[in-house]
Amino acid sequence: MVHASLRRLRVAIVGGSMAGLFTGLALRKKLNCDVAIYERSAGKMESRGAGIVLQPELLRFLEQFAKPISVITVPSIERQYLGRGSTSRHRYAASQLFASWDGLYRLLRDLFPAECYHQGAKVKGVRQDGDGVEVRLETGETRQADLLVFADGLGSRGRRQFFPELLPVYAGYVAWRGTVPEALFDSDILELLTDRFSLCQIPQSHMLCYGIPGADGSTAPGTRRLNWVWYWNVEPGQPLCRLLTGSDGVERSYSVPPGLVPADTVAGQQAIGRDRLPPALAALVDATPTPSVQGIFDVAVPRMVFGRCCLVGDAAFTVRPHTASGTSKAAVDANTLALALFKAQGDVDAALQAWEPRQLALGRRIAAWGKDIGNRSQFPHDPASFAILSA
């Protein structure tokens, strides 16, 4: 419900991925804000992501919009740990829901007015004074806002502006990721992996797999995809730079998208998989012609608010993926921001001051938890190895 005395706030959001859309939707829903989202990518966003484990906070966010979540999710009923011969060494009841990044993105986009979502709109500069913020796009166009939200991810321009010294810290490993149609696999593999969240720990590496909807959003058995993530240690410096250089010759800072990882690099990783992974998981890697590689980086800001600007989602805290909570954290950032503005009757400064401390605490908590899981899974339990990686 919108408070009668609230003036319609103008909000500009940099970044139109999960955190940007959550924030735009929450601010429109709770306060009827006049929201504009600026997303630099001009192309299809749907091809970007892979699987998302849905956490309760994200489900609660989506419930506000009365969308039946079953249309974009695949459930699992058990969690299992696989041994070398694809045997299930431990298995226990654990219900979870999984979505694809593309399906969730489509759902959020359908809820957000198309005319307020500007694609191919890269934000180049931001200026603020006591009255508000001016956003400048690459095209030279400007827009005035009462509040500016940076939802621009790991490489956030907002964070660079406010904390030029704070750089993402490489965690010492990457995530190889892929999705494969389940129809490609024989019944042995499907029987083992379907309806389950499967994990496997091998020396200094781990891999997981779960079902997600098909590329067209279908959730019917036989039309879905298997999503896998394989965490693999790569030395910082030259080895990482080489891996993050695509077949187009461009060296990327954080990730190489599907289709641009050089074929010989893919083949090399597949060969390692055949040697070391349980055969069922190696088969997934083998059946993925265009996996992506995502470097795992840590980012934690000391502040999320700067005058009339704030940081949400990965822009503020890029947490390790092992807690599967980056998306739900972004949804909580968005919901609590809307609530703070509502409680402060639209007073942006008061709302931001009230909002920041709890979100900082949440980000720090999840970041520490994710680091702990990741480091224990990827590295020997020797403090010296962490010192080398963070040097």
Ligand X SMILES: Cc1cc2nc3c(=O)[nH]c(=O)nc-3n(C[C@H](O)[C@H](O)[C@H](O)COP(=O)(O)OP(=O)(O)OC[C@H]3O[C@@H](n4cnc5c(N)ncnc54)[C@H](O)[C@@H]3O)c2cc1C
Instruction: List the structure tokens of 327.
Output: 């998306």
Instruction: List the structure tokens of 274.
Output: 């055949």
Residue among 24, 27, 39, 291 that touches ligand X (CB under 6 A): 39
Q: Minimum distance between the CB of residue 364 and ligand X, rounded to whole angstroms?
A: 15
Instruction: List the structure tokens of 224.
Output: 């879905």
User: How far is residue 177 from each of residues 29, 153, 183, 289, measured CA to CA in Å?
Assistant: 34, 19, 19, 11
Site string for ligand X, 326-345 (x = CB under 6 A): xxx-x---------------
Work out whether 41 is an interface residue with ligand X (CB under 6 A). yes
Looking at the Cβ atoms of 194 and 294, the one nearer to ligand X is: 294
Work out whether 52 is an interface residue with ligand X (CB under 6 A). yes
Q: Minimum distance between the CB of residue 185 and ligand X, rounded to whole angstroms?
A: 22
Tell which positions 217-236 bind ligand X, by CB under 6 A.
229
Site string for ligand X, 309-328 (x = CB under 6 A): ----xxx-----x--xxxxx
Residue among 12, 18, 171, 226 that touches ligand X (CB under 6 A): 18
C-alpha 67 chain-centroid distance: 21
Other CB atoms closer than 10 Å to residue 351's CB: what's the count? 24
- Measured over all CA atoms, what is the biggest interatomic distance in the chain, rounded to whole angstroms? 66
Instruction: List the structure tokens of 207.
Output: 């891999």
Other CB atoms closer than 10 Å to residue 28's CB: what's the count? 19
Work out whether 153 is an interface residue with ligand X (CB under 6 A). yes
Stretch that binds ligand X, among 11-19, 28-36, 109-117, 368-376 (CB under 6 A): 11-19
Burial 222-244 (b: 16+ CB within 10 A, else e): eebbbbbbbbbebebeeebeebb
Q: Minimum distance between the CB of residue 161 and ligand X, rounded to whole angstroms?
A: 10
64: which DSSP letter?
T
Tell which positions 179-218 bind ligand X, by CB under 6 A.
none
Work out whether 359 is an interface residue with ligand X (CB under 6 A). no
Q: Which residues fall within 8 angstroms of residue 351, CB to CB, at 6 or more apart? A: 337, 340, 341, 343, 344
Q: Minimum distance between the CB of residue 22 and ligand X, rounded to whole angstroms?
A: 8
Where helices occur in 64-194 by DSSP H, the ranges are: 101-111, 157-162, 187-193
Which residues is 119 bridged to in the sheet? 39
Stretch that binds ligand X, among 14-22, 272-280, 303-311, 380-388 (CB under 6 A): 14-22
Looking at the Cβ atoms of 257 and 279, the one nearer to ligand X is: 257
Work out whether 146 is an interface residue with ligand X (CB under 6 A). no
Tell which positions 279-298 bind ligand X, by CB under 6 A.
294
Instruction: List the structure tokens of 200.
Output: 């496997």
Work out whether 157 is an interface residue with ligand X (CB under 6 A). yes
Cα Rg, the chain, nearest whole Å: 21
Looking at the Cβ atoms of 35 and 346, the one nearer to ligand X is: 35
Q: Minimum distance between the CB of residue 157 and ligand X, rounded to whole angstroms?
A: 4
Work out whether 370 is an interface residue with ligand X (CB under 6 A). no
Which residues is 245 bridged to in the sheet? 251
Secondary structure (3-state) at 50: coil
Work out whether 177 is an interface residue with ligand X (CB under 6 A). yes
Work out whether 277 is an interface residue with ligand X (CB under 6 A). no
Residue among 9, 12, 19, 244 that touches ligand X (CB under 6 A): 19
Tokens 């720090």 belong to residue: 364
Looking at the Cβ atoms of 39 and 102, the one nearer to ligand X is: 39
C-alpha span between 16 and 154 (Å, rounded): 13
Half-sphere exposure of residue 72: CA atoms within 13 angstroms, side-chain side: 19
Looking at the Cβ atoms of 145 and 346, the one nearer to ligand X is: 145
Secondary structure (3-state) at 32: coil
Q: Minimum distance between the CB of residue 160 and ligand X, rounded to whole angstroms?
A: 10
Q: Minimum distance between the CB of residue 190 and ligand X, rounded to whole angstroms?
A: 22
Tell which positions 65-124 bind ligand X, by CB under 6 A.
122-123
Burial 170-192 (b: 16+ CB within 10 A, else e): bbbbbbbbbbbebeebeeebbeb
Residue among 17, 288, 335, 359 that touches ligand X (CB under 6 A): 17
Site of interaction with ligand X (CB under 6 A)? 14-20, 38-41, 52-53, 122-123, 151-154, 157, 175, 177, 229, 294, 313-315, 321, 324-328, 330
